[in-house]
A and B are shown apart, each in its own frame.
Chain A
Amino acid sequence: MEKLFKTHPIEAWLLIIIVATSAVLSVASTQYLTLVNAFDLLNSISINVIFAVGLLVVLISGGIDISFAVAASVVQYVAFYVLSYLGGGNWFIGFIVAGGLGIVLGAINAGLIHYFRIISIVVTIATFNIFFGLLMFLTRGVYLYDLPDWWTNRIIVFEHEMANGTWAELTLPAVVMFGAILATWLLITYSSIGRQIYAFGDNPEGARRIGINIVAVQFIAYGWMGMMAGIAGLMQAHFVQEIVPNALIGRELDVLAAVVLGGATLGGGRGTVLGCVLGVLLMAIIQNGLNLLGVTPFAFKAIVGVIILLAITLSNVSFVELRAHLRMQKGQ
């Protein structure tokens, strides 16, 4: 732990806050520290985590993506029609189609950013409008209910009956989430291109000088984001058993806030998978806790907003400087 504090202070702090919050909640609510609630929590954060690890890679590369949530909705619709054209499909084809469509949408962002030298926030604001506008226009906002059975049937990967007769269940999205976490961790820690994404985000000019393939870095970062968005879209439709065109819009900013809470910055070159997951987890625990404590859902967002504001303020104020400042004032 001490070592973690030294090398990854943000992750260590998040861990402590999560443990402390959990301790408080388990005292305040008997339902909190149960396997049922823990599994529910994992199932419910899975989609946001899948988005988050994708966004993490883009942030590390020094970019930002606002369009991924609506991209996921686009993927849902297109995948639906592609799959019915293919005769229904199955999970394997589903992942290939959703991931592939996501990569295409990510590549559009990467191409605009790289070839026309437009900054990422402008590009993704534009593609956000394009994706969403076209989706709503072409689908006329119609919901899709008649998804293939394989897509909507709940898959319970692990279950356990509790003493009181309730079931603790871990479902497919949670497993896919672990897969996404693992894959992203491998990408940014052990692959050559992953380290190059870090390097490019850290010092773009330095990266250019040592011959890092910048085109590859951009396309892989946004492509990875797109792929994760596609998979998250697939999972979200599985979760709610329907496709709603505006179900995911607005999610992008919540995910961004969580990832940044986890230590990634908009400057690039920083961020870890652990921090990113802990960021999402903390937000979910707070919501879950407020829920268990009987706080009205209307107040959730306000509280979450305050927490994010405090977190980014505190994580960006240098305490060493502040202390030195106060000490000096006292000394005079």
Chain B
Amino acid sequence: MTTTNRNKIKRYMESEVAGLSIFLIAVVIAFSLASPNFLTATNLSSMAIQLPELGLLTLAMLIPILSGGLNLSITYTANMSGLALAWTLQAFGGPEAGVEAFILGCALALSVGALSGFVIGVVVAYSKAHPILVSLAMMIFMRGIGEFLSRGKDITGFPQFVQNIGQGDIWGVPIPLLVFIACAVVWHIILSRTRQGFGTYMLGSNIMATAYSGISTKRNLIVLYTLSGLMCAVAGIIMLSRFNSVRVGHGESFLLITVLACFLGAVNPFGGFGRVVPVVLALMILQVLTSGLNILGANQHLSTALWGFFLIAVMVLRWAWWQYSIKRK
């Protein structure tokens, strides 16, 4: 890779927001023309309710990818956090549980998520094991312990107000969407405005050089995986309140889609580059595609396949753009 190319890539990434926005608008227009049901209040609100789950998990995946790693345990960590909340609610009377029980449960859920991330972070930081493997082991563990404790059954029976959180809205904006927006803003601030975030980008590009520069890379790794775990817990809580139940394995298929959303959002697969805003745009594109295809009567599995094609198409286009930019010079 010559130096001029690197520079070009960077500019290209900056223009990514523009590219993604145009693409988003194009997709929206296409679906609106294809079906009168697309640009309706019902569909818009259903998109707004669906987006946050995948969105929160994608945020949980984003930071590890920026650091040059991956967190494969996100969905099961979210499930386990959801279970922690579910049990707390049940211990306080199930449908009769009060707000205090919910708050306590959320605290426990967040602790479970943070602990899962913390363990991954410690192992990644102190052994030379690859994050893919560490988080894979954590995923198998979380899945196992979750299935063991829940015996593979759905846990249901929560107070009404919990369901209201998942399905209610404030001035017409669904609460899960508000939670997602808040989390995205926090993530944006952490990544662009804190030493932690700065260090994460740097170690994602070159961990040794970052350590030589006096950044405690071990601490940074532990914190970043803990943050990822916390975000999983938020996703777990939202999933519980939206479905009014918890089942281990719920959202399993989101795992690879979160990776897809990150790459579509111009995050560098090797780490070091990527921002929250383009990733959110990528999420919106994926959501529009899903809902649009759904309205047009496409099968859920066909959408899965299309996402795969889409990821390949994005990467091939990038490659083609690269080839073109080298030739043009």
Residue positions of A touching B, CB distance < 8 A: 64, 66, 112, 116-119, 121-123, 125-137, 253-254, 256-257, 260, 265-267, 296, 298-306, 308-309, 312-318
| B23 CB within 8 Å of chain A | no
Q: Which of A116, A305, A313, A318 contacts B143 (CB 8 A)?
A: A305
Chain B residues within 8 Å of A301, by CB: 140-141, 143-145, 147-148
> Which residues from 225 to 247 on chain B have a C-beta closer than 8 Å to any C-beta of chain A?
none
Q: Is the CB of B307 within 8 A of A129?
A: yes
Contact (A137, B302) CB under 8 Å given A122-B269, A253-B136, A312-B137: yes
CB nearest to B256 among chain A residues: A125
B110: interface (CB < 8 Å): no
Counting CB contacts under 8 A, is B312 at the interface?
Answer: yes
Query: A64: which B residues are within 8 A, CB to CB?
Result: 132
B308 adjacent to A126 (CB under 8 Å) = yes
Knowing A130-B309, A133-B301, A266-B133 are in contact, say whether A302-B144 is a contact too (CB < 8 A): yes
> B140 near A118 (CB under 8 angstroms)?
no
If A299-B148, A300-B144, A305-B141 touch, does A117 touch B319 (CB 8 Å cutoff)? yes
Residues of chain A with a CB closer than 8 A to B269's CB: 119, 121-122
Of chain B, the residue at the smallest CB distance from A117 is B319
A302 x B311 contact (CB < 8 A): no
Chain A residues near B304: list those with CB within 8 A: 129, 132-133, 136
Do B315 and A313 touch across chains, with their CB atoms under 8 A apart? no
**17 A-B Cβ contacts within 8 A?**
A64-B132, A116-B315, A118-B315, A121-B70, A128-B256, A129-B307, A130-B305, A133-B302, A133-B304, A134-B301, A137-B305, A267-B130, A298-B147, A298-B148, A302-B148, A305-B142, A312-B134
Q: Is the interface of B mostly helix, strand, loop or mixed?
A: helix
Question: B116-128 vs A: 1/0 string, CB under 8 Å?
Answer: 0001000100111
Number of A-B contacts (CB under 8 A): 156
A266 touches B140 (CB 8 A): no
A256 near B311: Cβ-Cβ < 8 Å: no
Judged by DSSP, the binding face of A is: helix
Cα A116 to Cα B299 in complex, Å, equals 29
Contacts of B305 in A (CB 8 A): 129-130, 132-134, 137
Q: Which of B119, B128, B151 sits near A298, CB closer than 8 Å? A: B151
Q: Which of A127, A131, A298: most chain B Cβ within 10 A?
A: A298
B129 within 8 A of A: yes
CB distance from B157 to the nearest CB of A (A): 21
Partner of A266, one of B132, B152, B299, B311: B132
B127's partner among A298, A304, A312 (CB-CB below 8 A) is A312
Q: B residues 7-57 with Cβ under 8 Å of A?
A: none
A317 pairs with B127, CB closer than 8 A = yes
Closest to A322 in B: B126
Check B224 for interface membership: any CB of A closer than 8 A: no
B316 CB, nearest partner CB in chain A, Å: 5
Contacts of B127 in A (CB 8 A): 312-314, 316-317
Most central of A64, A256, A308, A315 by chain B CB within 10 Å: A308
Minimal beta-carbon separation of A208 from chain B (angstroms): 14
Least CB distance, B293 to chain A, in whole angstroms: 11
Determine if B288 is an interface residue (Cβ-Cβ < 8 Å): no
**Which residues from B are CB-within-8-Å of A121?**
70, 132, 269
Q: Find out whether the CB atom of B138 lies under 8 angstroms from the CB atom of A305.
A: yes
Chain B 310-325 interface residues, beta-carbon cutoff 8 Å to A: 311-312, 315-316, 319
A253 x B312 contact (CB < 8 A): no
B144 touches A125 (CB 8 A): no
Partner of B141, one of A134, A298, A309, A315: A309
For B152, the chain A residues whose CB sits under 8 A away are: 298
Contact between A133 and B143 (Cβ–Cβ < 8 Å)? Answer: no
